Amino acid sequence: MTLKTKDEPSGADLDREIDRLSAAGLDALGYSDAELERCARLTLRINRLKKKMNAVIPAHVYQRVEIVHGVADFIGDSYKLAKLCVDTKADRIVFCGVRFMAETAKILNPDKTVYLPAIEAGCSLADSITGDDVRKLKAKHPGLPVVSYINTTADVKAESDVIVTSANASKILRLMFERHPRLIFLPDEWMGRNLARELGKKVGSEIVVWEGKCIVHENFDASSVPLYRKRYPGVKILAHAECSPALVQSVDFVGGTGDMMKYVKDSKARHFMLVTECGLGDLARTEFPDKSFIPMCRLCPYMKATGLEHILKTLESPSRDQLIEVSADVAIRARRSIDRMFELAEGPEPKR
């Protein structure tokens, strides 16, 4: 006879959890019965432990669907997650995203314990520049304010004047240009060039850009857009702001993940193509089952590094590597640039 361990769910609990995950859309996305059962066993344990330990699980929209629908307390883009992390009453934050996001959560919550379940979850943009590189840039361009995309390490944020996300970059840059004729934008070159074009500014003489790239968005090919339009008449093509200028100029809408989801929700069109990480398409398929999504996406190995097993391990016996720490000096300076973002993003609109 096999004895049940204390973590073994009853048959009824397991069936209910499998039904919950299926109804949330995992079934429709093709999860097999065995995979659903494996996820359900883990999500039951994670959700029980999370409650017991007063932990909260924020998840970026690019995370695996079983995380988004199985255990996340809130999901969103970088801006929404940063805002929600300010308000949480939990003692522990188990951040399902990549390292710079978990660092941002720690900067905003210095008294809370913040974990990154998959320690290898980095980001090619954040890893493209160090705090030392920013100090050198500032020495080369004295007096220029530094506007940094949120996809940066805590050290880089600490050297910056203001942080932006794809949801508010355009507004904040316009506001910054009301006071400064030139500025530094980092680390995403494509986003910097796209913003320069939108704002009618010149790269080099008005916006100094860093040459960082997102390994997911840098390789989408603009030349295939006309073919898709021919094959799917009426399709709305949406691209993330980290895509190349050539692609951005050929699509119907450009923005961050939150804006893209809003566009889909508000649009009367039936067919969409979301040119970004595949997680957004998976989420859109579960949230808008009546609309169709044509695949043109890539997987981010960093975003997909986290699995339910990592989260369970973090709650049961976290390792030192999973604990996010930011020195007080860096955290104070980085917090200033993040707070400046909140202030500008939620303040008056720029003059047109």
Contact positions toward ligand SF4, by CB under 6 A? 98, 123-125, 151, 214-216, 277, 300, 302-303
* Residues 117 and 98 sit within 8 Å (Cβ to Cβ): no
Of the pair 40, 256, the CB lying nearest ligand SF4 is at: 256
**β-pair partners for 96:** 59
Of the pair 7, 221, the CB lying nearest ligand SF4 is at: 221
CB of 159 to ligand SF4, least distance (A): 20
Tracing tokens 């359900």 back to the chain, one arrives at: 40
CB of 132 to ligand SF4, least distance (A): 21
CB of 103 to ligand SF4, least distance (A): 13
Of the pair 43, 165, the CB lying nearest ligand SF4 is at: 165
Of the pair 300, 315, the CB lying nearest ligand SF4 is at: 300
Separation between Cα atoms, residue 45 and residue 281, nearest integer Å: 27
Of the pair 118, 183, the CB lying nearest ligand SF4 is at: 118
CB of 114 to ligand SF4, least distance (A): 17
CB of 98 to ligand SF4, least distance (A): 5
Of the pair 17, 218, the CB lying nearest ligand SF4 is at: 218
Interior/surface letters 4-30, b for 16+ CB within 10 angstroms, e for the rest: eeeeebeeeeeeebbeebeebbbbeee
CB of 291 to ligand SF4, least distance (A): 23
Of the pair 94, 300, the CB lying nearest ligand SF4 is at: 300
CB of 32 to ligand SF4, least distance (A): 27
